[in-house]
Amino acid sequence: MVDIVTVITGIVLVLIALLCFNFAIIFQKMGLKEGPEITFDNGIKGILKSFKSIIKNKWWAFGAVLGIVAWFPYIMSIGLVGVMVSLPINSMGIIIMVLAANRILGEKIKWYEFLAIIVTAISPVLIVLAGISNTVINLQLFVFPFIIFFVITASITIFCLIVSIKKRGTSSEGFFILLTGSFLLALGNVFTNILAQAVIQANIQLTWYVWAEIFFGIFWFDYNHLWVFLGWWGLAICNISSFAFYQSAFQKSRVAVVYPVFNSIGLTIPLIAGIFVFQQTFNNYFLFFLAIVIIFIGTSALGRFQNVEQRL
């Protein structure tokens, strides 16, 4: 049994992380409001040009650093009290974000939007309570279902990107940019899971050349190292890409609406992949599927509220 001092320390650490994570997003939003618009019409060159100017903004830079710093107390908290305690507490930070967005950014949050945000934020708690088990991936058997999952998810992502471009300048643009970034983040989380399992099964040790073994694992010429290579570059490409999209979504929509949708989809899609691709199980499927339904309802409602307000 974990002693009371450890529990209190773990909770204090996750509360510190909670504040850092949410204020990091607020500060980034402040910087984005002063920077050039992030657009995707001109490809990577146009995105890099926008960010070259944005990173010079002191508020955005401070928010980015604060977001990185937040991971240290969060990881320490998980180590002390486990994800079953840390994740539900951290997910409640959305309440602080809504209040900060209202007070600092001047974003008006209506009562029904606040209700949808809170309902969406509850979903990670339900997923944790559902109790995932059987976390080991069979790298031999998962390939075919993974390819199907990847093709479907990538197709949805490309569709959302195309719609966002076609809807440029309309009330729907920001929401579809948000969905594009959310699905890219979800794919990045799936590749992270693959990488973590492949590193273990490839028996990669902490040596001075470990970075080369991960970055260029394909040249080790064995099956497990191949998935180390694919896992690393998959997570790198998807996470970097998602960063540009959700920053753009922050520019075009209210942060209190964007973040809960982004966070929920980024968490849920990998868990769905865990069931149908990686053959993982839950102790309570009712709570898991209830969380999925809540995310769908909350995301749809927030998107509709956003569109209605922008039309007005």
Question: Mind spelling out the 3-state secondary structure of 14-80?
Answer: HHHHHHHHHHHHHHHHHHHHHCCCCCCCCHHHHHHHHHHHHCCCHHHHHHHHHHHHHHHHHHHHHHH
Q: What are residue 132's phi and psi, to 5 degrees?
A: -75, 145
Among 212-221, 237-246, 284-293, 298-307, the range scoring the smallest mean pLDDT is: 298-307
Structure confidence at residue 95 as a pLDDT band (50, 70, 90): confident
Q: Please state the separation of Cα 195 from the chain's center in Å.
A: 17
**Domain range annotation of the chain:** 1-91, 130-311
Beta bridge partners of residue 133, listed in sequence order: 281
Residue 198 predicted with pLDDT over 50: yes
Q: Is the pLDDT of residue 230 over 90?
A: yes
101-155, pLDDT tens digit by residue?
878 888 777 777 777 777 777 776 777 677 766 666 788 888 999 999 999 999 9
Q: What are phi and psi of 208, to 5 degrees?
A: -70, -20
Identity of the residue numbered 41: D
The more confidently predicted of residues 79 and 163 is 163
What does the chain come to in residues? 312
Report the predicted TM-score, pTM, of the whole model to 2 decimal places: 0.73
